[in-house]
Amino acid sequence: MLSGIEIRKLTSENEVKIISHLRVAHLMEEFGKRYDEEKIRAELIEWRNQGRDFWRADSRHFNVGYSIGHKEEGGGYYADAVFVLKRFRRMKIGSELGRIQVERARELGCNVINTRVLGENKPSIGFQRRLGFEVYDSGGIWCTRLVLKILSP
C-alpha cells in the first residue's frame, strides 16, 4: 500500500457513481471540453453492469484517481482508463492502479493487456511505457495502441 493512499475495488452501483467527477476531470483534461456528469455517471453504471472492473484511489477519503478495465472477447484484458488528479501525480498512484489491472488480467487468465491513448498524449504514452507497455501500432494523432504482454508470476 502507498503511504496515505488506499486503493480498493468498487463493486456496487453507488461506489461506481462516486468516481464520476474523476471521470469528468479526466475527459476534460484529455479532450479539452466539458462533459455532463450525469451522462458520465450513467455510462459508468452501464459499464459496471457489463462487468467492467473499477478501482478507486483515496487519500484521506478524497478520491484522487481511478482505473477501469475489462476482459475482451479475444481473451486479452483492456485497460479502459488509468487517471490520477494532477496534484497527486508522481506519487506512484497511477503505477499501482496499473499494477492492479495486470493482477486482475492474470486472475482472468489473460496474457496480454491492450489500451489506446491519443497519439498526441506523450505523457500518457510515457506512463504506459514505464508500466511495460510497448507501442504496437500508431493511428496517428487520434490513437496509439499499446500492448503489455503478461508473464506468468
What cell numbers appear for 82 in the block? 488509468
Q: Report the chain's C-alpha Rg in angstroms.
A: 15
> Does the pLDDT at position 141 exceed 60?
no
Among residues 17, 9, 25, 90, the alpha carbon closest in space to that of 57 is found at 9
Residue range 18-28: average pLDDT? 85
What is the rounded distance in angstroms from the CA atom of residue 20 to the CA atom of residue 25? 9
What is the rounded distance in angstroms from the CA atom of residue 144 to the CA atom of residue 127? 13
How confident is the model over 103-116, as pLDDT tens digits?
899 899 888 888 87
> Does the pLDDT at position 139 exceed 70?
no
Poorest-confidence range of 14-23, 77-86, 122-131?
Answer: 122-131
Among residues 75, 99, 95, the alpha carbon closest in space to that of 83 is found at 95
Residue range 92-112: average pLDDT? 89
pLDDT of residue 56: 93
pLDDT of residue 46: 92
Could you tell me which residues come within 8 angstroms of residue 140 by beta carbon, excluding any fewer than 6 positions away? Answer: 119
User: From the CB of residue 55, how many other CB atoms can be counted at a distance below 10 Å?
Assistant: 20
Of residues 78 and 151, the one with the higher pLDDT is: 78
CB-based contact 117:124 (threshold 8 Å): yes
